Structures are given as structure tokens and as C-alpha cells.
Amino acid sequence: METETTNRSEAGTKRVGFWEAFWFWVKLGFINFGGPAGQIAIMHRELVERKRWVSESQYLRTLNFCMLLPGPEAQQVATYIGWRLHGTLGGVVAGSFFVIPSIFVLWFLSYLAVAHADVPAISGLLYGVQPVVIAIVVEAVLRIGKRTINHRVLVGFAVLAFVALYFLSVPFPLVVLVAAVAGLILSRTNFAGDAFAGGGTALRRKKSLPSTGRPQTAGPRCCAT
């Protein structure tokens, strides 16, 4: 398929068969605890770091795009990656199995909470999961944050957004809209343009290049006559 072969040349990515991906999406549906932040971190660890089915830059671009869409962004990320790997069928499989297994987990936990909530062991089980889920979310925020907020301008965006949401109770859609407009404007400036070239990757790439202390030339020039 065209989508399966798109950008296969991106650094470190591997081809994956449909059924291998199918069983991964089924497994993901049973382990994607922690809400959107935890689910996004789990997919990043599995798809980018361990399996290398998608590149770091592609995953972050997908995440940025899905964050602007209404609805559950983690499921949208899974659906898009599934489509990118195996076309429309891959997207349907990834998006469906992202939620279908969790229905059965929800039924089971709901049964325990209603029928056996007075049993100390069950009560301890349910309450013991809560801090673990919080830890998953915190780990996810740190993991994704280190890869995306890597420029002083982006740090400023994050701080201002946190203040607006937590202290000023500004509506989330308005914060996203203002951030998008501000990013569009600042990306055209010399002051902060590198911050928005792949989430600061342009700045890291620029720093990693050796400096010769003199401008590069395109090639040898002929002697002037």
C-alpha cells in the first residue's frame, strides 16, 4: 500500500506486517492505562523506542496535529499511525481495538466496585491502582515534555498555558487557539523561528553541526579574469 511505504526512509523505522501490528493494537487496548497522557507515552515507548515502526519526528508531528482536533487525542494518534502503516484497514483496526478491550476491563472493574466494594482486599486493590495511574501520568508528562519543550520559547508557552488554565480558568480551546496563532507569528521571526521547526529540533541540529569559524562556500571558484 502507498501509506505503508510512505517515508520508509526516515531514520530507524522498520517495516511491519499487518498481523503483527494487529496483535499490538489488541494488546495496547488492555494496557493503555493512565488517560491520554499515559496512553501517548505508552505508544511512544512501544512504537518509537522499542519497535521503531515510526520515527520520533513523525510521532511528534502526529501528536501535535491530533492535539488540535476535538475528541480523544490518544485514540486519534493510534488511528493515524495505524492508517500510516497499513492504510484505511490499519486505521480502523488501531482505532477500534484502542477502545474495545478497555470495555471488558471496565465491566470487570465496575463489577468489583459494585459487588465487592466492602471486601477489604478488593477495596485495597481499587485504591492501590490510583497512585500507580498518577505515576504513569507524571512519567508520561516528563517523557513527552523533554522531547517537545526543548526551547526557551516553548518553555514560556508551557508556563503561560499552565497559568491560564490552572489559575485563570481560561477555556482550553481559547488557550490552544492563542498558542497556535502566536506560534504562527513567532515562527516567521528570527527570534523564535527555530523553536517551531520540529519542536526545536532545528536548533539541536544547528548546534550539532561543526563550526569552522568561517562561512561555507558552495565550491571552488574560478579565478577572476
Grid cell of 165 as nine digits: 488554565
How far is residue 55's CA from residue 84's CA, in Å, rounded to a whole number?
Answer: 12
How far is residue 56's CA from residue 59's CA, in Å, rounded to a whole number?
Answer: 5
pTM of the entire predicted model: 0.70
Give me the mean pLDDT over the 31-39 stretch.
Answer: 83
- What's the pLDDT score for residue 4? 45
Q: What is the mean pLDDT of the chain?
A: 80
Whether the per-residue pLDDT at 2 is higher than 80: the answer is: no
- What's the pLDDT score for residue 114? 83
DSSP 119: S
Digit-coded pLDDT (tens) for 159-216: 999 999 999 999 988 998 999 899 888 888 876 767 766 544 444 444 444 444 444 4
Lowest mean pLDDT among 94-108, 122-136, 170-184: 122-136
